[in-house]
Amino acid sequence: MNITELKPQIVWKFFHQITQVPRPSKKEGKIIEYLKSFAQEYNIPIKVDEAGNILMSKPATPGKENLPTVILQSHMDMVCEKNNDTVHDFENDPIETIVDGEWLGAKGTTLGADNGIGMAAELALLASNDIEHGPIECLFTVDEETGLTGAKALKEGFMTGDILLNLDSEDEGEIFMGCAGGKDTQAIFHYEPQPTDANLVYLAINIKGLNGGHSGGEIHKGLGNANKILVRFLYLLGAQVDFTLCSINGGNLRNAIAREAQAVIGVASKDKETARILLNNFTADIENELKHVDPNVRIIMESTEQPETSINEECKNRLIWALHACPHGVMGMSHDIEGLVETSTNLASVKMAPDNTIIVGTSQRSSIESCKNMIANQVASTFKLAGAEVKHGDGYPGWAPNPNSKILKVAQESYKKLFNKEAKIMAIHAGLECGLFLEKYPHLDMISFGPTLRDVHSPNERIKIDTVDLWWSHLLELLKSIPAK
């Protein structure tokens, strides 16, 4: 089935167009040009700020002029992740979508429904002439995924609305009224390259087949982290045989759970069989531990060519110990909202750089500011003890729930009217831009809602097709149900 034949057609039409425009974080130039051409085609007033954020506006439909102005908001950029065997250039190639039963996904890459589907809904509203609504403003922000720099750069006065509908949530039938804040912690190890020994045999170890996923929305699932699995094996190996570590790399983005990791090691030929037996036993343990959440995990060790250099022994040990000790996963559950993760940390990436450094990327989240700083400092302490250089990012604030929100009440009532059932009122552990909006626009009354997405920030990302129609219907009912000022 062609994506543009799905219901509601106008939303899917624009989503398809968005998938054809490359839009990596920090490289949103092409999608900005697309949005400008859309505004020109539909004669929509448009503003672009210095950061690249875009605001389009549309007057009320007849009879709705006395309603308050509503801001609809989504972000332009997408997480660019692909399987190792997929050939795809995210800066130039369109996303290839696939309808698979009740789901829409992509061929070997992230889909970009996070947050392309939110953008598509905004464009559908702006392009339509048969939808009842008061005055609306549509905000499209840049670089949400790698630093929220668009939301941070937003200036006072760019928007005029009093109500904001964030379209960046991932469960239809759930209305979000709060989110966690976040912070990044980076550790840098400096190593001395050593010449490798031709008398050793060299082995490449690869962790593959993990699902990965969003380090906020899916951290509670206990998914396998390729970095943790790899370093766990290296720690066990070091207790049995001497080995040199020639290279180590794993994970990619700070807000994605690492799906793949690789290392090249050198061992004496007499120890090769010991290493292989250890790996077989270790693999069986990992497969048993992850059988319910990551049944396709694979740990492969095979011979490889001799590299030119290895990491000096002292740095190798400090790195492995620190990575093994570094916390990952859920650190605490909320006492206010049942089932909500309060605090977590993600061991996101391990990258070797050309300047003889190894850079470890981690991210921390919490709905309590003091706990966010505590877990960031705990991660920092782990790496400081190992002699690494540690840096923290600026972070971003959480969005404190407001149970007295007027737009939340309207959203609840309109959902019940449409579907004769109650929407779930939630807070989300993933980060949203809403906390940053409140810093500049403290009067805003906000909620976040969206259709059902799964495995975002991974090549398994997919959107449940029928939930887009349900979410769209709710959005339209909500817009026409907002009471007058």
Catalytic residue among 28, 81, 144, 445: 144
* CB contact at 8 A, 82 and 109: yes
DSSP per-residue letters across 64-117: -TTSPPEEEEEES-B---B-TT----TTTPPP-EEEETTEEEESSB---HHHHH
Strand order in the sheet with 97-100: 97-100, 103-106, 462-464, 453-454
Contacts of 446 (CB under 8 A, 6+ apart): 163, 164, 165, 166, 177, 399, 405, 407, 434, 437, 438
> Tokens for 450?
């969206």
Q: Is 105 exposed, middle or buried (0-12, 13-18, 19+ CB in 10 A)?
A: buried
Q: Give the fold, CATH level 3, of 3-180+398-481.
A: Aminopeptidase (3.40.630)
Q: Which part of the chain has CATH 3.30.70.360?
A: 183-392
Q: How far apart are CA 278 and CA 298, in angstroms?
A: 15
> Tokens for 128?
């339509």
CATH of 183-392, one of 3.40.50.150, 3.30.70.360, 1.10.10.10, 3.40.50.2000: 3.30.70.360
Q: Which part of the chain has CATH 3.40.630.10?
A: 3-180+398-481
Catalytic (active site) residue 289: no
> Tokens for 424?
């779930």
Residues forming a β-bridge with 309: 195
List average pLDDT for each run of 10 residues in the chain, which is 485 residues long.
91 98 97 98 98 98 95 97 92 97 96 98 97 97 93 96 96 94 96 98 97 91 97 98 98 92 98 98 98 97 98 98 98 89 97 98 95 97 98 92 92 98 92 92 96 93 98 97 92
pLDDT of 83 reads: 87
Catalytic (active site) residue 41: no
Q: How far apart are CA 88 and CA 92, in angstroms?
A: 9
Q: How far apart are CA 71 and CA 166, in angstroms?
A: 8
Predicted structure pTM score:
0.82
DSSP state of 366: E
Catalytic residue among 77, 137, 168, 477: 77
Q: How far apart are CA 253 and CA 270, in angstroms?
A: 38
pLDDT of 384 reads: 98
Contacts of 331 (CB under 8 A, 6+ apart): 342, 343, 344, 345, 366, 371, 375
> Tokens for 10?
């106008």
Q: How far apart are CA 63 and CA 58, in angstroms?
A: 14
Distance of alpha carbon 332 from the chain centroid: 20
